[in-house]
């Protein structure tokens, strides 16, 4: 006898483990038992083998390694007695799975047991096979299982049927062999055999199209008959669940019917009646009945059912929705979601109920209902639905607000038909849940506002009011700051008053106050503060009387620990103090942001627009269709400069400006004083391209490369390829575009002055395009001229595509010589 | 199809775990841990269904024991809920007033009963009579 062998019974071991107070104690007991079992294994102990394996299974359940017991299972399976085999198979299923190679060793034992004369042993083998068989075993043992499907014992039959399911799942090719035995099973009376047989048929339909065809022919009637029989059968306590005879069988048959009727009118025809009968007859006051109804509805939606039947199904779901049980409502919402494509008309009738579910206390129901509501939105109901949702946003739980906000925003963006409504809804959302609003959403709001000239006054005043009441909403604060900076004067003078608008009196210092609050508020993040700084800078020129106070506010941040804020405030105070002459134009209102460009970019970047194919209008179209009050000058490049997806949008502009200014030293940047609206932007562009608008009478000390341009054509063209120095080339006489810049633009030409040419850089998405001009007809320009070569650019715009400009270059040979190997090279900056 | 069945107490001790899909041992422990975490904190008023990875877990609580079944996302939740109840009724019949300790000390019998009830991830028998279990002992 082995000294380690404890010989404790299974019950004693479990008790010993349960009495352990600590994990260490438990480990000690398990270690001792494992050592004893190991010793018994190496002794090849026969007597206690099955007891040891049972212990090992318990140890396995506790999570300890037990691989050394695997061979014991095989030995037990190979023994002759039923109790040994039973524990052996149990261990096999618990300790091994289909991926272990050891399993192959058991194939032979399984084969023998499948052919055993004792039906219980056959049952054990079938059970093990069904639970863990691998593809190879499935191939090897399929004939045995097929034979057992025709056995006389119902217990064997049902196990064999489920085994067959496992086999055809592993090896779909084998499904052919099982078609006719499966069909035969449906004629049985035993419920176990029926339910497994029906399940086998369902799986066969999934596995192979031929089987589906075969079963459609041979089983459609059979399944109808089964359903009739059980629903008409008398009370049988054995199968009765809350007054319904075998709901499980009901459900399985309905599922099979779905497979058979899907896409086949004839089969659907023959099951329509029984479906109607089930749908009307089953009581829906218990879970079992509801489970059947649920399956029935799904089948009706899945097959080619009559429209009457569909309405019946949708009504059942409507009843589910008003059920008090959360489970029932949850499945109803799920089901409605799946069938929304089938019949959205009927679904609309339950809109009110679904909307109620959005407000449910159970998170999973809320989530489903919200998704469903988004699917139900269309042009006609968008306004009341949005109103309901926004109203709910006020009272909803904090953790649900994120989801809800996202969905409302997507609905509003997708379905808005008028700008005023869109802006109003967005303002409401921002003031309720501004912190949950994603960046893209408020970015596109700004784009819309900048395009709606007639609504800017109203918007900025509403934002001002909203910010006063809910200043902690980050999204709201940012949009409001941006708008106050841009349209500050409209806030004060009450321009563009809408008819329904309540007048509000805001003084200039009120406006500065609110920005100051945002700047100093603890809850504001860096981006918001940075935006406040810009708003202040802008206001300092809009409201000259407050200028001093603003300067002070900006100065306060000069020592800010945040680099971004510090840098900005230093730059801005420099602009205010040292560059008074250009400040006005620097802080001009932003040019209108081009919606199509912005939307196009957004589309590209976010391909994960809600996967709703039913909506007719894509988001971009919806916005583009907005009636637009202003003429849209092509402002493509501005979109690029301002790239709204970057962290701090409008900030880029002045700060870069200032930075460049510093770079350029005290270079005077001449600006015509009566700069039109977009003048600021022009300057901005110029600065960004490290050039400056040069009037022909200005004397520039650092102008370079004029000579280069005027030198021989060859050298000039050669220099095109070497983009090394950011030189500013100027021709004193006429309009010459620096070839180094690659891009050119004609600026608005004041009648009094000579043509000014800007040096534009990186301004377009297209290789050849000119942006920023408001007129569609352009004068051709002489890009280059010397004694031997003249280059003239002429421009054409296409009416429908304002972003694209065609440039035609004409080269004229003025010399007597003929040119050969003429190469024209254009350098175009890369636009991201 | 049922992916796995778990029987856990409130503390997260697994009393029965049956997998119909092959999983690594470590993965099994992770799954058991995650499922327990998912179901144990849910309000009793909430639905008995939780989404779990790409499947869903249908669970039901009986005293301190959670019966959880992981099934395909398209399966009928209500049917599996009923299925869990039937299983509990069968256990109750067999052990006459089943309690957690019965399941601990007779874990092998519980597995055998389960094998007679569910096979290859599908329901095998819907009869409530324990007749088919009598051959055990």
Cβ of A330 within 8 Å of Cβ of B82? The answer is no
Structure-derived torsion over alpha carbons of residues B87, B91, B94, B98, reported in degrees to the nearest 10 = -160
Give tens-digit pLDDT for A775-790: 456 778 888 888 888 8
Tell whether the model's pLDDT for residue A202 goes beyond 90. Answer: yes
Cβ neighbourhood burial of A3 (10 Å; 0-12, 13-18, 19+): exposed
Which residue in chain A has the smallest CA separation from B42?
Answer: A362
Decide if A157 touches B, using CB distance below 8 A. no
Contacts of A450 (CB under 8 A, 6+ apart): A456, A486, A590, A592, A593
Cβ of A165 within 8 Å of Cβ of B86? The answer is no
Are A411 and A451 within 8 A, CB to CB? no
| Residue B50 φ/ψ, nearest 5 degrees | -130, 140
Q: What is the rounded average pLDDT of the residues A64-93?
A: 88
Tell whether the model's pLDDT for residue A98 goes beyond 80. Answer: no
| Residue A524 φ/ψ, nearest 5 degrees | -70, 140
B52, B1, B76, B51: which is closest to A371 by C-alpha?
B51
> Min CA distance, B41 vs chain A (Å)?
13
Tell whether the model's pLDDT for residue A96 goes beyond 70. Answer: yes
* Nearest-CB residue to A291 (from B76, B115, B123): B76
Residues of B in contact with A70 (CB under 8 A): none
Max alpha carbon distance in chain B (Å)? 40
Decide if A178 touches B, using CB distance below 8 A. no
pLDDT band, residue A602 (cuts 50/70/90): low
Which residue in chain A has the smallest CA separation from B29?
Answer: A63
Task: Delimit the domains of chain A by residue range.
Answer: 466-663, 679-813
What distance in Å separates the CA atoms of residue B80 and residue B87, rounded to the nearest whole number? 10
pLDDT band, residue B71 (cuts 50/70/90): very high
Cβ of B49 within 8 Å of Cβ of A327? The answer is yes
Q: What is the ipTM of this complex?
A: 0.94
Listing DSSP states for A25-82 in one string gives HHHHHHHHHHHHHHHHHHHT--TTHHHHHHHHHHHHHTT---GGGHHHHHHHHHSSSH
Are B4 and B31 within 8 A, CB to CB? yes
Task: Delimit the domains of chain B by residue range.
Answer: 2-133
Q: Which ranges constitute the DSSP H helices of chain B? A: 25-40, 77-95, 100-105, 107-117
Right CATH number for B2-133 from 3.40.50.620, 1.10.3720.10, 3.30.450.60, 3.40.50.300? 3.30.450.60
A295, A282, A286: which is closest to A241 by C-alpha?
A286
Among A28-32, A199-203, A320-324, the least confident range: A320-324
What integer pLDDT is reported at residue B130 of this predicted model?
Answer: 61
> Min CA distance, A150 vs chain B (Å)?
17
Decide if B112 touches A, using CB distance below 8 A. yes
Question: Which residue shows structure tokens 């597995």?
Answer: B111
Q: What is the rounded average pLDDT of the residues A679-696?
A: 40
Cβ of B19 within 8 Å of Cβ of A97? The answer is yes
3-state secondary structure of A685: helix
CA of residue A84 relative to chain centroid, distance: 55
3-state secondary structure of A783: strand
What integer pLDDT is reported at residue A343 of this predicted model?
Answer: 67
What distance in Å separates the CA atoms of residue A257 and residue A220, rounded to the nearest whole number? 7
Cβ of B46 within 8 Å of Cβ of A99? The answer is no
Tell which B residues from 46 to 85 touch A, by Cβ distance under 8 Å.
Answer: 46-51, 76-79, 81-83
* Nearest-CB residue to B82 (from A238, A241, A365): A241
What integer pLDDT is reported at residue A701 of this predicted model?
Answer: 37
A395, A397, A437: which is closest to A412 by C-alpha?
A437
H/E stretch holding B65 reads strand B65-71
Cβ of B119 within 8 Å of Cβ of A130? The answer is yes
The tokens describing B90, both together, are 């069968």
Quote the percentage of chain A above a pLDDT of 90. 15
A85, A69, A99: which is closest to B19 by C-alpha?
A99
Which one of A65, A247, A369 makes the best mutation probe of the B interface by having the most chain B beta carbons within 10 Å?
A247
Contacts of A333 (CB under 8 A, 6+ apart): A321, A354, A357, A365, A368, A369, A372
Tell whether the model's pLDDT for residue A197 goes beyond 90. Answer: yes
* Nearest-CB residue to B126 (from A94, A131, A239): A239
Tell whether the model's pLDDT for residue A296 goes beyond 80. Answer: yes
* Nearest-CB residue to A158 (from B16, B107, B124): B124
Residues of A in contact with B5 (CB under 8 A): none
Q: Which residue has the higher pLDDT, B133 or A265?
A: A265
Residues of B in contact with A165 (CB under 8 A): 120, 122
Q: Which residues pair with B17 in a beta bridge?
A: B6
Residues of B in contact with A247 (CB under 8 A): 79, 82
A519, A525, A435, A455: which is closest to A481 by C-alpha?
A519
> Min CA distance, B47 vs chain A (Å)?
5
What integer pLDDT is reported at residue A342 of this predicted model?
Answer: 65
pLDDT band, residue A415 (cuts 50/70/90): confident
> Min CA distance, A238 vs chain B (Å)?
5
* Nearest-CB residue to A330 (from B14, B47, B104): B47
Residues of A in contact with B132 (CB under 8 A): 155
What integer pLDDT is reported at residue A755 of this predicted model?
Answer: 37
What integer pLDDT is reported at residue B131 of this predicted model?
Answer: 55
Which one of B57, B71, B119 makes the best mutation probe of the A interface by having the most chain A beta carbons within 10 Å?
B119
DSSP E strands: which ranges in A591-716? none
What integer pLDDT is reported at residue A255 of this predicted model?
Answer: 93
What is the interface size between A and B, counted as CB pairs within 8 Å?
135
Q: What angle do CA B81, B86, B90 make, to 5 degrees?
A: 150
Cβ neighbourhood burial of A713 (10 Å; 0-12, 13-18, 19+): buried
Give tens-digit pLDDT for A333-362: 888 887 776 667 777 778 888 888 888 877
The tokens describing A399, both together, are 């953790």
> Min CA distance, A298 vs chain B (Å)?
10
Residues of A in contact with B43 (CB under 8 A): 362
């Amino acid at each position: 006898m082995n000294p380690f062998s404890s010989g404790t019974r299974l019950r004693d071991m479990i008790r010993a483990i349960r009495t352990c107070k600590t994990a260490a104690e438990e480990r000690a007991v398990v270690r001792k038992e494992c050592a004893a079992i190991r010793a018994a294994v190496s002794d090849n102990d026969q007597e206690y083998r099955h007891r040891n394996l049972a212990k090992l299974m318990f140890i396995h359940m506790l999570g300890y390694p037990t691989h050394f017991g695997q061979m014991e299972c095989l030995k037990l399976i190979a023994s002759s007695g039923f109790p040994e085999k039973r524990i052996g198979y149990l261990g096999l299923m618990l300790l091994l799975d289909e991926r272990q190679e050891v399993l192959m060793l058991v194939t032979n034992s399984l084969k023998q047991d499948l052919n055993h004369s004792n039906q219980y042993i056959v049952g054990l083998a079938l059970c093990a096979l069904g639970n863990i068989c691998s593809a190879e075993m499935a191939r090897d043992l399929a004939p045995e299982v097929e034979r057992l499907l025709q056995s006389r014992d119902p217990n064997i039959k049902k196990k064999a049927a489920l085994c067959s399911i496992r086999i055809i799942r592993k090896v779909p090719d084998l499904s052919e062999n099982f078609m006719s035995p499966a069909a035969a099973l449906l004629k049985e009376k035993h419920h176990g055999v029926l339910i497994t047989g029906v399940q086998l048929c369902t799986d066969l339909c999934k596995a192979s199209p031929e089987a589906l065809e075969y079963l459609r022919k041979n089983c459609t009637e059979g399944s109808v008959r089964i359903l009739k029989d059980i629903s008409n059968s008398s009370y049988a306590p054995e199968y009765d669940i809350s007054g319904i005879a075998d709901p499980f069988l009901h459900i399985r048959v309905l599922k099979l019917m779905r497979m058979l009727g899907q896409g086949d009118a004839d089969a659907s025809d023959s099951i329509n009646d029984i479906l109607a009968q089930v749908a009307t007859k089953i009581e829906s006051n218990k879970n079992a009945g509801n489970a059947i109804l649920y399956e029935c509805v799904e089948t009706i939606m899945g097959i080619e059912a009559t429209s009457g039947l569909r309405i019946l199904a949708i009504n059942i779901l409507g009843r589910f929705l008003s059920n008090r049980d959360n489970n029932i409502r949850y499945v109803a919402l799920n089901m409605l979601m799946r069938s929304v494509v089938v019949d959205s008309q009927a679904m609309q009738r339950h809109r009110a109920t679904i909307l109620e579910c959005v407000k449910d206390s159970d998170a999973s129901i809320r989530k489903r209902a919200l998704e469903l509501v988004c699917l139900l939105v269309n042009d006609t109901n968008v306004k009341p639905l949005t109103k309901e949702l926004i109203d709910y946003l006020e009272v909803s739980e904090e953790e649900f607000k994120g989801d809800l906000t996202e969905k409302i925003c997507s609905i509003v963006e997708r379905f808005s038909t008028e700008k005023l409504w869109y802006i109003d809804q967005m303002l409401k959302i921002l003031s309720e849940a501004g912190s949950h609003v994603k960046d893209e959403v408020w970015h596109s709001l700004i784009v819309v506002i900048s395009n709606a000239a007639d609504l800017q006054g109203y918007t900025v005043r509403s934002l001002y009011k909203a910010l006063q009441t809910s200043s902690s909403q980050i999204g709201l604060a940012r949009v409001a700051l941006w708008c106050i900076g841009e349209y500050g004067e409209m806030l004060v003078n009450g321009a563009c008053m809408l008819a329904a608008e309540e007048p509000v009196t805001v003084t200039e210092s009120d406006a500065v106050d609110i920005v100051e609050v945002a700047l100093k508020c603890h809850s504001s993040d860096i981006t918001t503060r940075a935006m406040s700084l810009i708003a202040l800078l802008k206001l300092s020129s809009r409201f000259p009387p407050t200028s001093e106070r603003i300067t002070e506010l900006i100065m306060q941040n000069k020592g800010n620990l945040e680099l971004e804020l510090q840098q900005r405030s230093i730059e801005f105070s420099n602009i205010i103090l040292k560059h008074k002459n250009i400040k006005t134009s620097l802080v001009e209102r932003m040019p209108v942001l081009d919606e199509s460009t912005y939307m196009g970019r957004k589309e590209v970047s976010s391909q994960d627009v809600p996967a709703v194919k039913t909506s007719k209008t894509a988001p971009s179209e919806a916005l583009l269709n907005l009636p637009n009050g202003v003429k849209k000058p092509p402002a493509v490049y501005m979109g690029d400069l301002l790239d709204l997806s970057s962290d701090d949008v409008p900030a880029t502009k002045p700060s870069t400006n200032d930075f460049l200014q510093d770079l350029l030293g005290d270079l005077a940047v001449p600006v015509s004083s009566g700069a039109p609206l977009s003048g600021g932007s022009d300057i901005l562009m110029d600065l960004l391209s490290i050039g400056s608008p040069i009037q022909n009478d200005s004397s520039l000390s650092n102008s370079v490369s004029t000579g280069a341009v005027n030198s021989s054509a060859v050298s000039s063209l050669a220099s095109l390829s070497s983009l090394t120095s950011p030189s500013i080339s100027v021709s004193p006489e006429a309009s010459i575009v620096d070839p180094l810049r690659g891009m050119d633009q004609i600026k608005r030409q004041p009648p009094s002055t000579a043509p000014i040419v800007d040096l534009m850089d990186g301004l377009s998405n297209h290789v050849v395009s000119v942006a920023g001009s408001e007129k569609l007809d352009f004068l051709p320009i002489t890009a280059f001229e010397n004694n031997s070569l003249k280059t003239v650019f002429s421009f054409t715009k296409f009416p429908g595509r304002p972003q694209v400009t065609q440039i035609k270059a004409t080269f004229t040979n003025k010399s007597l010589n003929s040119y050969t190997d003429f190469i024209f090279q254009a350098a175009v900056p890369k636009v991201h | 199809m049922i992916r796995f069945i778990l029987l856990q107490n409130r503390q997260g001790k697994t009393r029965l775990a049956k997998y119909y899909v092959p999983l690594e041992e470590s993965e099994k422990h992770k799954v058991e841990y995650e499922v327990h975490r998912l179901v144990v904190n849910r309000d009793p008023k909430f639905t008995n269904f939780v989404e779990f990875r790409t499947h869903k877990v249908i669970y039901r609580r009986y005293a301190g024991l959670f019966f959880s079944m992981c099934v395909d996302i398209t399966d009928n939740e209500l049917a599996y809920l009923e299925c869990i109840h039937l299983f509990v009724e069968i256990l109750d019949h067999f052990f006459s007033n089943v309690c957690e300790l019965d399941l601990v000390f007779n874990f092998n019998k519980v597995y055998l009963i389960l094998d007679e009830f569910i096979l290859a991830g599908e329901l095998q028998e819907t009869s409530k009579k324990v007749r088919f279990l009598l051959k055990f002992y």
